Amino acid sequence: MVHVWPFSCMPELSAQTIIPSISEDYGMPVLPLIVDEQTGEAGFQTRLEAFIDMLKIKRESERNGKPV
């Protein structure tokens, strides 16, 4: 799951507290991306690419029977 939320948004701060338990309950990795007026596109691109690489490694290790 990719959770994109605006910096200092009160509803998102509340949601942020329950996301770790949802992630654990469903075995779903989460990438939080916080947006503000200083956020650059290159930083998002790099973080998304790293997250996708992590998911690929996790999937491959599960296919081979080796937990990450």
Q: What's the pLDDT score for residue 67?
A: 66
pTM: 0.73
> Measuring CA to CA, which residue among 49, 47, 45, 2 is closest to residue 23?
2
Alpha helices, DSSP H, located in the chain: 10-26, 41-63
Q: Phi/psi of residue 31, each to 5°?
A: -115, 105
pLDDT tens column, 24-57: 999 899 998 888 878 888 888 999 999 999 999 9
Domain limits of the chain? Answer: 2-63
> Measuring CA to CA, which residue among 40, 16, 13, 42 is closest to residue 30?
16
